[in-house]
Amino acid sequence: MKQVNIALIGLGTVGSGVYKTIGMQKSYIEHKEGMSLNLKKVLALNYAIEIPEALKAKDFYTDIVQDETIDIVIELIGGVNPAREFVLESLKAGKSVVTANKELLARHWPELNAAAKASGAGLYFEASVGGGIPILRTIWESLQANELTSVMGIINGTTNYILSKMEEDKAGYEEVLKEAQQLGFAEANPKNDVEGFDAMYKLSILSSMAFHARVPVEYIFREGITNITREDIAYGNELGYTVKLLAIGKKRGKTIEARVHPTMIPKTHPLASVRGAFNAIFLHGNIVDDIMLYGRGAGDMPTASAVVSDVIYAASQSRHRYTSFYNEANVSSELSFENNWECEFFIRILAQDSPGVLAKIASVFGRHNVSINSVVQKGQSGESVPLIFVTHRAKEISVKCAMDDIRYIPEVIKVANVIRVEK
Ligand code: HSE
């Protein structure tokens, strides 16, 4: 039987899941795939679980790179450094690499791809987007007949948990974040998740695969969920919307838009029912029409499912395939990235309740070519009242300019929030 010798770098949450999966599924994989997965070395700074001393690597170069019997290196330490060196050196030595590292891939994909191509090694990263959801290989191997024109995903479980909980418990952001941290759903330093960086890296990979064009992180608009309040969620609910942190990619001809931001979607949208720490990705292809994949986007075992499946896939290839894009390293002149997209907007303004205020605000919208679909005034007359506007489709920059002017209307106390709406 074919022996596949593996080195594992990183033994945190996902690394432990991979370690357990290789042990648990060993004989099943031998029987089904005709290969024996043999974990030869584990390199880690901290060991989240007990492993035999003999497995522990002391040095990356002598114990992994220079060990010619190691076929596949699994990188699970996250972040760019030193992961980049580990991945590049492994690829240069002809070892295939399986990684879950979205930041590394989003930032250094051309370099890693070139190193893999040069040595003939494979580079696999299914676990980098959507944890256990097999989204990338589905795009690569099961949707080839299609030009994909849109991807829309809930690809960060932490923020989806927080927003779902705020809606269910009618609670504030800070309160729910604290609870999520206590339960282990959010990191002690939540910035990467709540500010949308994690979703941005994942969208870079996902939309690059979907659109056959590399979408560098520098071209992705990013806004996190820290400004979403219980009031936004409650008023959105009344209008039939739920709030999600969406990663959105759209392609029209050679123009791409890519953005991560809190988004109001109708409660009837398939993504609205994705709650808690789950992820889902909704795709549109010109032949297949709409497709949605749903599952656990994080966690030790779901992510290990993607990692170990990549190992099996890599080991069964006689020749590895490489991603190719219109724009290998840089953005080619053929492609353009849109930053003035069009969508509907939910706008919450606090204003004094006096005659003519609504008319003043409406006239600013009109001046900037932003058409109002509906407006609701909440609450009784008093110091200040919330005014909720939902616009028709309008350009991002027009709405931004309108809001800049509205802030200067003396009766406007504050523009409390502007949330994009997607149907
Ligand atoms: N921190 C990510 C999330 C999981 O909350 O979805 C790892 O990609």
Domain parsing of the chain, residue ranges:
2-128, 135-296, 342-421
The CATH homologous superfamily to which domain 2-128 belongs is NAD(P)-binding Rossmann-like Domain (3.40.50.720)
At residue 331, the pLDDT reads: 56
* Shortest-distance Cα residue to atom 2 of ligand 1: 156
At residue 383, the pLDDT reads: 75
At residue 335, the pLDDT reads: 83
Residue 240 has pLDDT above 60, yes or no: yes
Atom of ligand 1 nearest to the CA of 297: 6
Cα(118) to ligand 1 centroid in Å equals 32
Task: Write out the two tokens for 5.
Answer: 């010798």
Backbone angles phi, psi at 275, to 5 degrees: -120, 165
pTM above 0.85, yes or no: yes
Atom of ligand 1 nearest to the CA of 186: 5
At residue 379, the pLDDT reads: 74
Whether ligand 1 lies within 6 angstroms of the CB of 193 is answered as yes
Whether ligand 1 lies within 6 angstroms of the CB of 156 is answered as yes
Cα(234) to ligand 1 centroid in Å equals 26
The one-letter code for the residue type at 148 is: L
Residue 60 has pLDDT above 90, yes or no: yes
Can you tell me the mean pLDDT for 13-25? 97
Atom of ligand 1 nearest to the CA of 185: 5
At residue 44, the pLDDT reads: 97
Atom of ligand 1 nearest to the CA of 131: 8
Can you tell me the mean pLDDT for 289-304? 96
342-351 and 394-395 strand pairing: antiparallel
Q: Rounded to whole angstroms, how far apart are CA atoms 385 and 159?
A: 29
Query: Taking all residues of the chain, what is their mean pLDDT, rounded to a whole number?
Result: 95
Residue 70 has pLDDT above 60, yes or no: yes
Top CATH class, 342-421? alpha beta
SS3 of 191, please? Answer: helix
Q: Candidates 76, 162, 177, 193: which one to mutate for ligand 1, based on the most atoms within 8 Å of Cβ?
A: 193
The listed CATH number (3.40.640.10, 3.30.360.10, 3.40.50.2300, 3.40.50.150) that belongs to domain 135-296: 3.30.360.10
Cα(193) to ligand 1 centroid in Å equals 7
Q: What is the largest CA-CA distance in the chain?
A: 83
Whether ligand 1 lies within 6 angstroms of the CB of 300 is answered as no
Q: Candidates 101, 163, 187, 198: which one to mutate for ligand 1, based on the most atoms within 8 Å of Cβ?
A: 198
What's the pLDDT tens digit per position in 123-175?
999 999 999 999 999 999 999 999 999 999 999 999 999 999 999 999 999 99
Atom of ligand 1 nearest to the CA of 161: 5
At residue 382, the pLDDT reads: 65
Element (H, E) at 345: strand 342-351
Residue 309 has pLDDT above 90, yes or no: yes
Whether ligand 1 lies within 6 angstroms of the CB of 198 is answered as yes
Sign of CA pseudo-dihedral 26, 322, 214, 139:
negative
Concatenate the DSSP letters of all residues of 354-391 into one string: -TTHHHHHHHHHHHTT--EEEEEE-S-SSS-EEEEEEE
The DSSP code for 79 is S
Are the beta carbons of 113 and 322 closer than 8 angstroms?
yes
Task: Write out the two tokens for 32.
Answer: 């089904």
* Shortest-distance Cα residue to atom 8 of ligand 1: 298
Q: Candidates 102, 104, 156: which one to mutate for ligand 1, based on the most atoms within 8 Å of Cβ?
A: 156
Concatenate the DSSP letters of all residues of 205-241 into one string: HHHHHHHTS---GGG-EE--STT--HHHHHHHHHTTE
Residues 6 or more apart whose CB falls under 8 angstroms from that of 378 comprise: 235, 385, 386, 387, 388
Number of CB atoms found within 10 A of residue 118's CB: 11
What's the pLDDT tens digit per position in 328-363?
655 566 788 999 999 999 999 999 998 999 999 999
What's the pLDDT tens digit per position in 355-388?
999 999 999 999 999 999 999 998 765 678 999 9
Element (H, E) at 404: helix 396-406
Can you tell me the mean pLDDT for 8-27? 97
At residue 185, the pLDDT reads: 83
Catalytic entry in 40, 202, 244, 251: 202
191 carries an active-site annotation: no
| The three-state (H, E, C) secondary structure of 245-294, written as one string | EEEEEEEECCEEEEEEEEEEEECCCHHHHCCCCEEEEEEEECCCEEEEEE
